[in-house]
Structures are given as C-alpha cells and as structure tokens.
Amino acid sequence: MFAVKGVVKTYAWGSKEKDCAVQFFSERQGIVCEEADVPKAELWLGAHPNGPATVAKIVQDERFEERSMDNVLSVQGKGLPFLMKVLSIAAPLSLQLHPDRETAKVLHEEDPEHYTDPYDKPEMCIPLSENFEMFCGFLKAREIYCIAQVVPFIARLIGETMMAKVSKGVHAGKASDDKSLWGSSQSPGISEGEFLKYLMTQFYMVDQKEIETAIEQTLALNVEEVDYSKVKKPKKPMLREFMSSFGGGSSSSGEANKRLVASCFATFCDLQKKYPTDRGCFAAFLLAKHTVKPGQPMGIAANTIHAYLSGECLEIMKCSDNVIRAGLTPKFQDTKKLVELTNYTRYTPAPLKVECEETDAYQLMQIEPHYTESFAMSILKMAAHSTKPLNLSKLIKTPTPNEGQDLSPAEVLCLAGCGLIKVNDVDYRIEAGQCLLLVNQNATTVTPLSEEATEGYMKDGQALVLVFAHGLSEADSPRKRRTSVTASKLVETKLSTLNDQADPKQTDLSPTPEKAAPDDLPAPAEQPLSAPDHPTEKAATEHATTEQAAIEHVGASRTSIVTPGDEAGDVDDEADNATPVVKPASVPKPPPATEEETETEPQMKSAVEEPETVDIEETVDIEGSESATSAVEAL
C-alpha cells in the first residue's frame, strides 16, 4: 500500500478559484503550488510518463521516502493501464475524439509525430460539481433542422437541396441504406448518419474569413423575437412525432423549439467569449449538450466527438496520448480525420453497465464500461454507524483476466470524510482528498471513522465516500511493456552487483534514502517517454465550399492546423487564443472502427445510466459505435 501524491497541470482552461477541486485534492496530498494565480486544470494520479505521481510506502500508518509511481510499479513488474485525473474546468476544452484501437495503429504508423502511440484511449468521467456541462454526440437531425430556420449560417451549411431532403424526413436507422421508413421510391429520405456527416463536411470546408463573418451575424440575432409557431413544417409528414417537433402536433411544440434554440444560442455566446473567432463556437448548434449531476458516470467510447465545457469532474482513461482535435483550441487540428472517424450514430454518452447495491451500512455503485477492459470504477458511500469493517476484496467485482492479461494495481481516492483502510494487516487513516495505490488488492477492508462527511464531494450525508479504480493490464499496453523492460534491466543489474561482491552475505539491496521501506528495491533509472515538439510550418490551401461539391464527395479535403510551440503527445487541451498555422492534410483514410470488447452478464441488478440533457425532448440510447457511411452517394 502506497500513499499517492499527484502532479498538478496548469493549463489555460483551468480554474483559479481557491476552493476548486484540483486545489482541494492537491493540498490534502501535500502538494505545494508556488504560484497562487496560476490556473489549476488537472491533477494526475497515475504513472503516465508525462506526469508520474510520486508514492510513499506505508507500514503501520508510517510513510517512507517518496518515489516515482512508475519506478515502484517497475520494481514489482506491474503496470497501471489507466490514468485517473481530477479536472477543474473554467473554460471549454477542445472539440475532440479518440480513435479506436485499429485506427490508432494506422495513425501512429502514418503520422507518429502527432499520434505518438498505437493505442486507443477510451474515457469515463464522473462529475464532482453541480451543473457539470459537456458536449457529447450530436443533436437530432430534426432539431438541427429547426435551428437552421432561425440561424442563417446553419441553413447555408445545409443548403436548399439538403433542406428539402430533410423536410421529407430523416430516419434514425443504423443502416444507411435503409430508407424504407421515410419518403418514397421516387423521393427517398436519408439517414441521420448521412445527414450529420454531410453537415460536418460542409462545416469544415468553410474558410476562416466566412466563419468570422458568420459569427458576427449570429451574435446580432435576436432569437427571442422569432415566432416559433410559424416554423416551417416538413413538406411530407411521415410520423406524428416528427410533425410535433416542428409546431404541427401540439400547442407546446413551439415553446419546446424556442427553449432548444435559446439554449443553443446561449452556449454559442459563451463559447464566443472564450474563443472569439473559432469555428468551434458553432458546435453549440450541432452537438448535444448535457448537464450532469454529481456522481452520474458518463462514458466516452472511441470515435465519439465530445468536449468538456465547465465544472469539475473525476476522469479515468486508458494510458494513451491519441487525441484528434477540430476546434476550440490553438493546438494541432486534424479536421479531415475527425470527419472521417466520427461515429454519426451517437447522440448520447456511451452505455455503461452500472450495478447498484444498497444496505443500511453502505451504498455501492460499480461502473463497468462496455467499450474497454482497461478500467472500471466503483463508488462506495458508508454511513456513520458502519462500525464493522467492509471487505472490499469480496464486495467489489474485479474482471477476470484473459490470456495475456493480469489484474492491474488499484487506486483508492477519498472524496469525503475519513476512514481506516487495512491491506494485509497494514492500517492507514485515509482522509478526504487523499489517494492510495494498492499493488496487491487482497484482504482490503475499510471502516468509516467520522460521524459525518464534513468536507469533500458527493457527501450525501455519508461518513465516508471512496472511489475504487482498477482494470486489466494488457500484454501490449504501453505501460505494461515499459515496466516489464525496466524490471528486467533491474534484475540484470542486481545479479551483476551480487556477482561482483566478495561476500554476497554483506550485499545491501535496500534503498539509499534515510528511511528505506522494508523489502523495497532501489528505484531504477528514469526512462521518460518524451515526444518531439510540433514543427512550425506555413502553407495555405483552397477548398471547395459549394454545396454540390460536398454532396458529390463527403470526404473532401480539409485543413490541419498546427500552432507554433505546441508539444506533441499531450493528454490535455489548452484554451489559449493563438493564431494557427495552416497546412494541408493528406493522410489516407484509416480502417473503420472495431468493437472488440464483449459485454458480460451482470450478477446484480443492472441499469444503464441516462444523462440529463439540456432542452432536448428525446434521448435515444444506441448501443455500439457503428460508424456512419463514408459518402452520401444516394444524395
């Protein structure tokens, strides 16, 4: 058992509030930030080489010298396949997605400068603050159609031809060639995926000068004065539900449309204040915005477009640096790849298998993503009268390793209250904000010590709130491969040292610091995996912006943007407003996404968490991540 001290990252989108989550957790872990006025964005609690946490071994509530978590795991021959972070978000992060596993391998081979490893990066976040806001997935086609009748720029993106097709009906079928649900053989409708991919293609073909003009014109709109009862209906109604969405089915439909447009317009204005000339501001009229309660998990699978907007959260992800950005950032942007890879059937966060168990003594929520085995998370809340130790090893289910896998070390983060953690007869008092690394998860018990949680997050009147993160280490994962090599070199070094000693009995293998932990080996030499800086290049490209060009070829070329001085391989997003340098992007299209993970049968009552959305009348939960068609040939 090791006490963890994380690493604070200070990005421009972070918070300067003295009581923000990053400040709260870092102070309680003994982290001193010398500059008080610096925005604190993230607290990393893992072994990632760009910011490995330090750990101190605990023996009977006593800490020993601090060492890098990466080195400690190397000595043990272990790997940590996930990275847990605390985020304090004061300004929106970039529009982005993370490629699937197969695509990540192709991107790394073709462009290792910007895609620094061949691994996927699934994520999951749990909000810690009230009103946590994020983009995830798309608005429905009928909602965008409604917005287009109020916002001229969106109408110009769609164009008259496509507006006519949309007015005939858009079906939500997964198969792009299934048009029998809408229209007729003479005038068929189109699928949601086809429409959304067409729209995103058009969006990224618009040049920057036109974007800036459109931003000024949109800011001048007065959406409150629009008569929403006169919103144009589809020319050929197909379903009563479709008609009612446009004011033709009930007296309240006009008000629903007004709320939708007003909410999207307010988000647009907020984004424009932070990014005055960024095209990503128009994402407010295209992407689904979600407001999430504290403790409600949100899954982000591969190829899902998303962006955190505001609030504080706990995030867990697979250890990878692969991010494809396309707006709301001065960093490198690969808009062509984002349009090609985006899952256009995703309107909500990815489904999660959530199993809940509640007794008088505790509440336990176990969260298992369908889309990865690299991590899982459990939230445990214990009441004050729970004086009997709770055996976490038996209570929390851990995945069963397959061939080439093993159970990874686990991390325990205290969100509120305090309690007694006992691992293999070693006790440690854990308090709100503190984190522990458990290399061996056997015989782990916990007991609350306080009567009521007086500080922290997600208290709900409980005496102790803990987050337990674990996963499976894969044989080909970057962390596993790196620690295995480091451990092998360490063993070779020790054998060489023993052979060189005249009297092996006098060989001292303990660490050299003042207070060495028993049974520990010396830390191996650091082997940081650094990434080169992005080059500064200047080039200009001209792109077709006509509607017909996009209809003929949805995958038309777009621009990639490089900002001078950016560093490759980051797992973060900065919110600085910088002037980008444009260069042409000509990377071949990678293979489609694959779903390799399979769902396991739950042993307890399961439920799929449905996030709360902002001014969206209907939510469709589509499991899986089938990608949309690569071209709209039927148009």
Q: What is the mean pLDDT of each run of 10 residues along the chain (635 residues)?
A: 94 93 95 84 93 88 79 81 96 96 95 92 95 94 90 94 75 41 49 90 96 97 85 45 39 76 96 97 97 94 96 95 94 95 88 91 92 90 88 78 72 94 88 91 82 78 90 55 37 35 34 40 38 34 38 34 35 40 37 37 39 37 35 33
Helices assigned H by DSSP within 371-474: 392-395
What is the enclosing helix (H) or strand (E) of 353?
A: strand 352-358
Provide the pLDDT for residue 129: 94
Task: Tell me the two tokens of residue 68.
Answer: 């890098």
Domains 2-135+293-328 and 352-471 share a fold: yes
Task: Tell me the two tokens of residue 136.
Answer: 């995830």
Residue with tokens 């069963």: 400
Provide the pLDDT for residue 441: 65
Residue with tokens 């929390």: 396
What is d(CA 521, CA 512) in angstroms, rounded to the nearest whole number?
10
Closest by CA to 596, choosing from 346, 405, 370, is 370
Contact indicator for 76, 439 with CB cutoff of 8 Å: yes
What is d(CA 575, CA 607) in angstroms, rounded to the nearest whole number?
36
DSSP code at position 538: -
What is d(CA 34, CA 54) in angstroms, rounded to the nearest whole number?
18
Task: Tell me the two tokens of residue 164.
Answer: 């006519």
What is d(CA 421, CA 444) in angstroms, rounded to the nearest whole number?
7
Q: Which residues contact 449 (CB under 8 A, 6 or more apart)?
A: 417, 418, 419, 420, 429, 463, 464
Neighbours of 172 (CB within 10 A): 17
- Please state the φ and ψ torsions of residue 363, each to the nearest 5 degrees: -125, 130
Contact indicator for 463, 38 with CB cutoff of 8 Å: no
Task: Tell me the two tokens of residue 490.
Answer: 């360490």
DSSP code at position 1: -
Closest by CA to 135, choosing from 181, 89, 169, is 89
Q: How far is CA 331 from CA 73, 200, 353, in A?
A: 32, 20, 34
Residue with tokens 């895609």: 115
Contact indicator for 628, 340 with CB cutoff of 8 Å: no
What is d(CA 196, CA 325) in angstroms, rounded to the nearest whole number?
18
CATH entry 2.60.40.10 includes domain 352-471: no
Provide the pLDDT for residue 248: 39
- Please state the φ and ψ torsions of residue 7, each to the nearest 5 degrees: -120, 125
Closest by CA to 545, choosing from 145, 159, 139, is 159
Provide the pLDDT for residue 538: 34
For the chain, how big is the Rg over CA atoms in Å?
26
Neighbours of 506 (CB within 10 A): 7
What is d(CA 556, CA 546) in angstroms, rounded to the nearest whole number?
11
Given 2.40.50.1020, 3.40.630.180, 1.10.3210.10, 2.60.120.10, which CATH number is that of 2-135+293-328?
2.60.120.10
Task: Tell me the two tokens of residue 42.
Answer: 């993230």
Q: Which residues contact 485 (CB under 8 A, 6 or more apart)?
A: none
Helices assigned H by DSSP within 305-434: 335-341, 392-395
Q: Which residues contact 324 (CB under 8 A, 6 or more apart)?
A: 96, 97, 98, 99, 334, 337, 338, 341
What is d(CA 633, CA 189) in angstroms, rounded to the nearest whole number?
13
Residue 442 CA neighbour count, 13 Å, CB half: 2
Domain ranges of the chain: 2-135+293-328, 142-283, 352-471
Helices assigned H by DSSP within 53-151: 69-76, 101-110, 141-148
What's this model's pTM, rounded to 2 decimal places? Answer: 0.73
Task: Tell me the two tokens of residue 13.
Answer: 């989108």
Contact indicator for 81, 479 with CB cutoff of 8 Å: yes
Name residue 368's beta-bridge partners: 353
- Please state the φ and ψ torsions of residue 258, each to the nearest 5 degrees: -65, -45
Q: Is the dihedral of CA 69, 72, 74, 77 positive or negative?
A: negative
Contact indicator for 561, 277 with CB cutoff of 8 Å: no
Look at residue 148 and give its three-state secondary structure. Answer: helix
Task: Tell me the two tokens of residue 222.
Answer: 């007065």
Go through the chain and tell me how many residues it has: 635
Contact indicator for 618, 140 with CB cutoff of 8 Å: yes
What is the enclosing helix (H) or strand (E) of 354?
A: strand 352-358
Closest by CA to 46, choosing from 317, 406, 404, 431, is 317
Task: Tell me the two tokens of residue 253.
Answer: 């439909």
CA triplet 421, 422, 425: central angle to 5 degrees? 160
Provide the pLDDT for residue 404: 62
Closest by CA to 55, choosing from 118, 110, 1, 112, is 1
Provide the pLDDT for residue 288: 96
